[in-house]
């Protein structure tokens, strides 16, 4: 959908730009010259109504020429500087909530062709801890947002029991160092977030996330999530987990030559995870994100609506407006 919008915007900008150029440098001057000739033929006595009729732009040309500058600015800003996105799911809670509207810095990881995503000018690469928007590797039509955990060459492991990440940084492009990155965790505490569950066709699935003070009772069918701080080297952020649950290891992506739950990030790829660790379909399940799939770095929440996935907003969370960490 995002690619189709970018393509449509590019086509509209191109067509209105061509019309604007023809009007500016050919059609407009031709009409004015015609008016000057008619006025000279009439001895300079051509009435104003006739002049206006000759010089006046056709309606469709006027419309296209007037909207071209607007489309051009939108196209440049959206394609190369900042693009707005809406958070549709709870996979990045508590950092990002359903209903957050964010700005993504498009030039953070390279100036790219907005249609083909080919890098035109390299400008940088993701750092550990960056919140990254990227094209879902299994379906590039979809935009995903996760946190960069593993960089090219890193050896990443995840313990589904303790829910801890271990990262051995790369010494070179094809192997990991023996010394692990300092990844630390604070003690877990009860979170304000409660996850409710519903049953569908005999299976259990999440039906919503709600903020309920820890002093209040959890509604029937709900589970209060646990929250703690995760520090990846110098980057600290909050993560969530569902108590007394464990990932289904059989669903993990198993990299050839590596044990289950261990991944060595290939050159030019990244390992991404959601902050809501038990509610995130991420690199643990489908593998690595190629460099070419990177869209940009999430930097700012510019609006936030109180809502549940797939439902209409019920309020505004102005307190959430600000930077993303």
- Contact, 149 vs 156, CB < 8 A? yes
Lookup: tokens for 39: 């006025």
CA separation for the pair 309, 218 (Å, rounded): 20
Helix, strand, coil % (nearest 5) of the chain? 25, 35, 40
User: Measured between alpha carbons, how far is 303 from 228 in angstroms, rounded to an integer?
Assistant: 25
**Whether the Cβ atoms of residue 104 and residue 87 lie closer than 8 Å to each other:** no
The whole-angstrom separation of Cα 281 and Cα 274 is: 8
**Cβ 165 vs Cβ 230: under 8 Å:** yes
For the chain, the C-alpha Rg in angstroms (whole number) is 27
- At residue 122, φ and ψ (nearest 5 deg) are -65, 135
User: Residue 50 carries which DSSP code?
Assistant: H
**Catalytic (active site) residue 319:** no
Per the annotation, the verdict on 146 as an active-site residue is yes
Exposure class string for 31-40: b at 16+ Cβ within 10 A, else e = beeebeeebe
> Hey, what are 307's tokens?
């809502």
Active-site position among 112, 146, 163, 307: 146
**Which of 124, 115, 114 has the alpha carbon at shortest distance from 76?**
114
Decide: 78 and 9 in contact? Cβ < 8 Å.
yes
| Active-site option among 79, 89, 91, 304 | 91
Going by C-alpha positions, the residue among 81, 77, 85 that lies closest to residue 133 is 85
Torsion angle of C-alpha atoms 181, 182, 186, 192, degrees rounded to 10: -40
Distance CA 243, CA 252 (A): 20
CB of 265 closer than 8 Å to CB of 152: yes
> Which residues belong to the active site?
91, 146
């Amino acid at each position: 959908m995002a690619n189709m919008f970018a393509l449509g915007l590019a086509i509209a900008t191109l067509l209105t730009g061509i019309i604007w150029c023809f009007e500016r440098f050919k059609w407009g001057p031709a009409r004015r010259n015609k008016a000057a000739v008619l006025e000279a033929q009439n001895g300079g006595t051509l009435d104003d109504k006739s002049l206006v009729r000759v010089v006046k732009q056709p309606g469709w040309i006027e419309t296209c020429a007037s909207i071209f500058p607007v489309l051009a600015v939108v196209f440049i800003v959206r394609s190369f500087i900042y693009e707005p996105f809406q958070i549709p799911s709870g996979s990045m809670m508590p950092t990002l909530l359903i209903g957050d509207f964010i700005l993504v810095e498009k030039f953070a990881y390279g100036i790219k062709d907005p249609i083909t995503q080919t890098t035109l000018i390299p400008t940088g690469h993701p750092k550990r801890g960056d919140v990254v928007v990227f094209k879902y590797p299994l379906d590039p039509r979809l935009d995903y947002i996760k946190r960069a955990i593993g960089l090219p060459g890193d050896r990443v492991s995840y313990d589904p029991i303790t829910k801890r990440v271990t990262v051995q940084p790369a010494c070179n492009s094809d192997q990991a160092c023996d010394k692990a990155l300092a990844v630390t965790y604070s003690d877990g505490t009860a979170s304000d977030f409660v996850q409710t569950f519903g049953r569908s066709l005999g299976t259990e699935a999440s039906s919503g996330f709600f903020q309920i003070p820890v002093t209040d009772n959890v509604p029937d069918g709900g589970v209060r999530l646990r929250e703690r701080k995760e520090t990846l080297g110098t980057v600290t952020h909050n993560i969530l987990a569902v108590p007394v649950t464990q990932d289904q290891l059989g669903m993990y992506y198993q990299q050839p030559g590596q044990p289950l739950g261990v991944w060595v990030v290939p050159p030019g790829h990244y390992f991404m995870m959601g902050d809501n660790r038990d509610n995130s379909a991420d690199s643990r399940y489908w593998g690595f994100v190629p460099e070419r799939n990177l869209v940009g770095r999430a930097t700012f929440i510019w609006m936030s609506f109180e809502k549940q996935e797939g439902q209409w907003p019920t309020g505004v969370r102005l307190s959430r407006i600000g930077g993303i960490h």
